[in-house]
Structure formats: C-alpha cells, structure tokens
Amino acid sequence: MIKPQIIRKRFPSGFQAQVIRRRGFNQRFLGIIVDFGSSDPQPLPGLAHFLEHKLFAAESGDLSLEFEKMGADVN
C-alpha cells in the first residue's frame, strides 16, 4: 500500500486545512468539516445544515444544481 502524503496548514483565522495526496489517484474531493452540528449541543439548532445550504446559494439560483449536472453529489 502506498502511503499518502498529508499536508496540513493552520491559517491566522484559526481555519485548518489539509491536503491528502495519493500518487496515481486522479479523482478530486473537497470536504468542509465544522466542529458543530446535530451531534453537538448548540444554542441555535440547525445552524450547520443552514450553512451547508448557504454554501451553494447564489443570486441566480442554487449552485448545487450546476454541480449535479457535472455528476457531483453535493449532499
């Protein structure tokens, strides 16, 4: 098994990112993970789900439909 290369970076804002590179893989994947959601008690329930939808919102419509036309699964 080929071990992946993991590159981690923390930005001044506190945002953390990591890139996992696997030699020979051509597929791309993007994930956004936040430290709160339905499994964590929150003062405002449903906020993570709301932000998920706002991520794909656009003035001209729902951007997730454009991703789905390209074969992406945005759920």
Which of 1, 45, 42, 44 is CA-nearest to residue 25? 1
Domain boundaries, the chain: 5-69
Indicate if the pLDDT at residue 73 is higher than 70: yes
Strands 16-21 and 5-10, sheet pairing = antiparallel
Report the pLDDT value the prediction gives residue 37, as an integer from 0 to 100: 62
Report the pLDDT value the prediction gives residue 8, as an integer from 0 to 100: 92
Using one digit for the tens of pLDDT, what is the confidence trace for 4-62? 899 999 988 888 888 888 888 888 777 777 666 666 666 666 677 777 777 767 777 77
pTM exceeding 0.85: no
Which of 45, 44, 64 is CA-nearest to residue 54? 64
Instruction: Give the up-direction half-sphere exposure of residue 18: CA atoms within 13 A in the CB hemisphere.
Output: 6
H helix runs in the chain, sequence order = 47-55, 63-69
